[in-house]
Amino acid sequence: MENSSYTKLAMVALAAGLAMPMAASACELDRPVKLADGNWDAVQVLNSIAGKIIETGYDCQVEMVTGAMVPLFTALQKNDVDIFMDIWPSNNVEIWGKTLEAGAVDLGVIYSDATEGWYVPRYVIDGDSSRGIEAMATDLKSVEDLSKYKDLFADPEAPGKGRFLNCPIGWGCEQTNNNKLEAYNLLDSFTNFKPGSGAALDAAFASAYKRGKPIVGYYWEPTWVMGLYDMIKLEEPACEGSNANACAFALAEAHVGGSADFVAQADALETFFSSLKTNSKEISQMLAYMQENSGADRDDAALNFLKTQEATWSQWVPADVAAKVKAAL
């Protein structure tokens, strides 16, 4: 009798156009949205931001699929992940091409001002009166000036040579820097020092900066190092003619890749990821937040961004979704 009464009430309510409580989620997918969670900070914070928006604004569950870069590309090809953010096609030409050929979709550019280069702390060139640091190399402007400063950047393990901090072995930028050092005729005056990991590269820059010491090496943006420390990128010649190795890194675009299945099944979420736009400075500041606030992790950085940068992220989603996200913060 009770079941019959409930059924009649439901039918009346539906006929009247009244909303009945629904057990099903409003999410377009009947499973979690799977985000490719690489082993670098920028993609992890972007995933945390997107995950929070998806969960609170689109009523979807989120699953982070951890892995290194190449396996995550393979997962995107096979529809084992739905979204892969912070892809630099210029550094992954072959595998990105294969991923698109396999049916994945380029959902557009997240930021277009990512950059790589050879950096020194600003105080090396300009000094820092607030820290009592005098300028050490006022006429150091370009990589071609470095040979004059091998003693300033002295390698403690190689007397008579400076130390250039390269990428860890196996990174794509390692061979690029190898070629540059040779093309700029710097191998006679600098050791080509390769840290054991990305964390070791970070630590080398951070340690030198905190102590006000000279250091020179490869780095890139966006990163927490660039968000936290005032660094200068040394000038390089434009790439033209036959100087393919002795020339500047190009600005890089970071893209979002969507799996074929995801794009076919989730129109609203696809639109969200296609609309997600930021810039290198914003991401560097997100990453710096974790370093400046003891105990803060990627989710804390994401939450801080959502609370303080509504003008940015609210442009990525419809007004009703933005309202739901804001209410959940």
Enumerate domains of the chain plus CATH numbers.
28-104+259-328 (3.40.190.10), 115-233 (3.40.190.100)
Give the pLDDT of residue 121: 98
What average pLDDT score do residues 201-208 get? Answer: 96
CB atoms within 10 A of CB 128: 15
User: Residue 295: left if φ>0, alpha if ψ -120 to 50, beta else—which one?
Assistant: left
- Asked if residue 20 has pLDDT above 60, the reply is no
What average pLDDT score do residues 184-199 get? Answer: 95
Give the pLDDT of residue 243: 72
- Token output for 111: 């930021």
CA 115 to chain centre: 11
Q: Which residues partner with 220 through β-bridges? A: 116
Give the pLDDT of residue 17: 42
Percent of the chain with pLDDT over 70: 92
What average pLDDT score do residues 251-260 get? Answer: 95
Give the pLDDT of residue 9: 39
For the segment 89-104, what is each residue's pLDDT rounded down to a tens digit?
Answer: 987 889 999 999 999 9
Give the pLDDT of residue 83: 98
Give the pLDDT of residue 230: 96
For the segment 52-64, what is each residue's pLDDT rounded down to a tens digit?
Answer: 999 999 999 999 9
In the three-class reduction of DSSP (H, G, I as helix; E, B as strand; rest coil), residue 190 is classed as strand
What average pLDDT score do residues 251-272 get? Answer: 96
Rounded to 5 degrees, φ, ψ at 98 are -65, -35
Question: In which element (H, E) is residue 97 found?
Answer: helix 93-101
Number of H helices, E strands in the chain: 14, 9
Confidence of residue 242 (pLDDT cuts 50, 70, 90): low
Q: Which of 44-48, 82-86, 243-247, 302-306 is least confident?
A: 243-247
Give the pLDDT of residue 246: 87
Distance CA 142, CA 180 (A): 13
What average pLDDT score do residues 166-184 get? Answer: 91
User: Residue 160: left if φ>0, alpha if ψ -120 to 50, beta else—which one?
Assistant: left
Asked if 240 and 74 count as a contact pair (C-beta separation under 8 A), the reply is: no
Distance CA 55, CA 183 (A): 50
In the three-class reduction of DSSP (H, G, I as helix; E, B as strand; rest coil), residue 186 is classed as coil
Q: Which of 140-154, 159-173, 293-307 is least confident?
A: 159-173
Confidence of residue 260 (pLDDT cuts 50, 70, 90): very high
Q: Which of 14-18, 66-70, 97-101 is least confident?
A: 14-18
Amino acid at 3: N
Instruction: Select from 24, 95, 49 the least CA-distant residue to 301.
Output: 49
Cβ contacts of 308-313, under 8 Å, gap ≥ 24: 309/282, 312/278, 312/282, 313/49, 313/53
Mean pLDDT for all residues in the chain: 91
Q: pTM for the complete prediction?
A: 0.78
Give the number of C-alpha atoms closer than 13 A to the C-alpha of residue 30, restricted to the C-beta side. Answer: 2
To 10 degrees, what angle do helices 298-308 and 41-57 make? 60
Amino acid at 98: K
